[in-house]
Structure 1
């Protein structure tokens, strides 16, 4: 059974500014423009940009893109459902079925690049490279009366890499996606390390057919990329929270794609928690709950690391009794890293934030709070 977002949680999600918007003046928007321009120069094709509502049907987000009924990403632990049939999109690909539907009456030759950028909404782990509302873009080239194949896909990948990290080495590894065939993961080399940049493939015949398009006549290339990650790689940034910083020393460097000049960082503070939680809980669920508990202070949480998970069956009887563990529960050792980007936290502030996370995540009968 799904759990559904409250009205206040929905309103909060919908008020997060979209930095990919053309009028944002932000590096995320500049990256989107760079990638789009690279592909238009490569192919000399018309471009159509779509910015549909982030509220989508569950059917468009999953079923029409080929996700199986039991796919784990459908679980409310990882996605944000509004009702049994409506959700906040978990990927910008959710907008493509509606785009494909508009092509049913098209009888002429057709060759167009469709660009779908914007925020996506997930329950994600907390660390310096993940956030619950990242920016994504889907780039789909759709053609009728003309083949598109793996050579065209590789050409696309090369142009995207050049737009994100000019001159970088890149490689592909096979990767399965429900809405593509010949799927690949695109990696780039940076400072001697291979890092994932995007995923891509040929549009699956089943997806075309679901929109009434004959796969013997229609072909497509599909590429999905995280814009936040692309900007971080391009500018040399190591903390995704910097992209929304209000510190003038930081925000003043976020209106272009020039290299980032690090500013002095505030010292981190760490707090360890011993929690009682369901034994199947994971970092994504805990991270989302922690963000929700902290509300406007969520950006101070730089990292949430699960250090150890010990189910009740593996603990001594005395520990089970002391913690009040029930069947199906576990003792979770968690480490919070608290760090403001703008100021130094006091110990009292760190303890207060720790307590808010503890109360939200702990399911045991006894609270162990720090006096603030």
Structure 2
């Protein structure tokens, strides 16, 4: 039985603002995406079809029709968020590609030639680690150029893919050096990872490849007549690279001095940095320990205060057999449990965090993740 989201968790997820969508108000992510789309369509002289699909998708579209194997670990409820046995919150915007291609196949049935850029931006939902570059609800965009061999005169190939990468990188970070390395995706052939050189080193920007024939065929587009390029990019990471933003939490901040800088693509001007506050928690957890699930539980426990959370790290995990008897008794540890040292790093984006408030947040997290009979509280 797949672990399902609670009605409240689902409600919270669906209420989350999509920063790439102008319908929710202006945000710097929108002109960045516009620049990318303009660079591609003006060079290729192709049509553009921007689709903003609902976050709830079928498991078939999210995994099966893209070529994921039934046993792939990414399907596990530790990493994916299921609303029902056959419905989930999309784990990537690529989940919108199969229905977009099916719709294109219906249109193509009455048109001689096709040359279109499908753009599918939106929020994705994962159970992910927590640090300054990662969040459980990242923004992505899938960019798929689909053509008939008649309209392009030939099949799209590795040279076309390289041009696509060059155009995307040039729009996100003009003048930046970039490199590619081989990468595997079940829905592409000749897959690549794209890295860009930034002031802090090489950073992954996107992944891409030639559209896999099985994905086209499954949507009703015959591979001998249709050909395609596929690129997926994290919009949060792209915007952080473009503006020089060091912390992903900044992108959703409502603090006026920060929010005012998130309306354009001008370089980031640091707002006064607050010192970090560290709290180490010795907890009892059920084995095996999963850092992603713990991170998800921490987010849920903190609620709106999650904005003050910079990172969660599993420092150590010690099993029953490796602990002395005194420690087992003190913790009330069962043989199927482990003692985890969990480190919280709290750093508010604005204002200050008092020791009292840090301890309150620490206790909120402790209450949510500790599975032992005895408690160790900071505020009680």
Aligned length: 372
Matched, 1:120 2:128: no
**1:370 alignment partner in structure 2:** 378
Once the two structures are TM-superposed, the CA of residue 192 in structure 1 deviates from its matched residue by 6.0
**SS in structure 2 of the partner of residue 243 of structure 1:** helix
Pick aligned residue for 1:349 from 351, 357, 361: 357
Question: RMSD in angstroms over aligned alpha carbons?
Answer: 1.2
Matched, 1:96 2:88: no
Pick aligned residue for 2:238 from 230, 245, 256: 230
Once the two structures are TM-superposed, the CA of residue 273 in structure 1 deviates from its matched residue by 0.4
**SS in structure 2 of the partner of residue 254 of structure 1:** helix
**1:333 alignment partner in structure 2:** 341
**2:15 alignment partner in structure 1:** 15
Cα deviations across residues 181-216 of structure 1 (Å, max 9, x unaligned)?
100100011126111000001111111121122111
Contact 2:272 2:350 in 1 (8 A): no
**2:62 alignment partner in structure 1:** 61
Cα deviations across residues 16-37 of structure 1 (Å, max 9, x unaligned)?
1111013431111111111111
Contact 2:195 2:202 in 1 (8 A): yes
Distance in 1 (alpha carbons) for counterparts of 2:88 and 2:179 = 34
**1:31 alignment partner in structure 2:** 32
**1:134 alignment partner in structure 2:** 138
**2:223 alignment partner in structure 1:** 215
Once the two structures are TM-superposed, the CA of residue 280 in structure 1 deviates from its matched residue by 2.0
Distance in 1 (alpha carbons) for counterparts of 2:199 and 2:96 = 35
Once the two structures are TM-superposed, the CA of residue 7 in structure 1 deviates from its matched residue by 1.1
**SS in structure 2 of the partner of residue 231 of structure 1:** helix
Q: Where does structure 1 differ by over 3 angstroms across 4 or more consecutive aligned residues?
A: none
**SS in structure 1 of the partner of residue 223 of structure 2:** coil
**2:165 alignment partner in structure 1:** 157
Once the two structures are TM-superposed, the CA of residue 319 in structure 1 deviates from its matched residue by 2.0
Once the two structures are TM-superposed, the CA of residue 278 in structure 1 deviates from its matched residue by 2.3
Pick aligned residue for 1:199 from 207, 210, 213: 207
**1:42 alignment partner in structure 2:** 43
Which consecutive residues of structure 1, in runs of 5 or more, have no partner in the other structure? none
Q: After TM superposition, list the pairs within 5 Å mapping 1:270-289 onto structure 2.
A: 270-289=278-297
Distance in 2 (alpha carbons) for counterparts of 1:280 and 1:210 = 38
Distance in 1 (alpha carbons) for counterparts of 2:259 and 2:296 = 26
Distance in 2 (alpha carbons) for counterparts of 1:32 and 1:134 = 15
Greater shift, 154-163 or 245-254, is seen at 245-254
Contact 2:170 2:176 in 1 (8 A): yes
**2:86 alignment partner in structure 1:** 85
Once the two structures are TM-superposed, the CA of residue 313 in structure 1 deviates from its matched residue by 2.3
Contact 2:156 2:228 in 1 (8 A): yes
TM-score, structure 2 length as denominator?
A: 0.95
**2:312 alignment partner in structure 1:** 304
**2:253 alignment partner in structure 1:** 245
**SS in structure 1 of the partner of residue 49 of structure 2:** strand
**1:4 alignment partner in structure 2:** 4
Matched, 1:293 2:294: no
Distance in 2 (alpha carbons) for counterparts of 1:118 and 1:305 = 28
Which consecutive residues of structure 2, in runs of 5 or more, have no partner in the other structure? none
Q: After TM superposition, list the pairs within 5 Å mapping 1:169-208 onto structure 2.
A: 169-191=177-199, 193-208=201-216
Greater shift, 309-318 or 338-347, is seen at 309-318
Distance in 2 (alpha carbons) for counterparts of 1:248 and 1:327 = 51
**1:52 alignment partner in structure 2:** 53
Greater shift, 154-163 or 33-42, is seen at 33-42
**SS in structure 2 of the partner of residue 40 of structure 1:** helix
Distance in 1 (alpha carbons) for counterparts of 2:218 and 2:94 = 15
Pick aligned residue for 2:369 from 361, 364, 371: 361
Greater shift, 59-68 or 203-212, is seen at 203-212
Cα deviations across residues 95-126 of structure 1 (Å, max 9, x unaligned)?
01001112334141111000000111111111
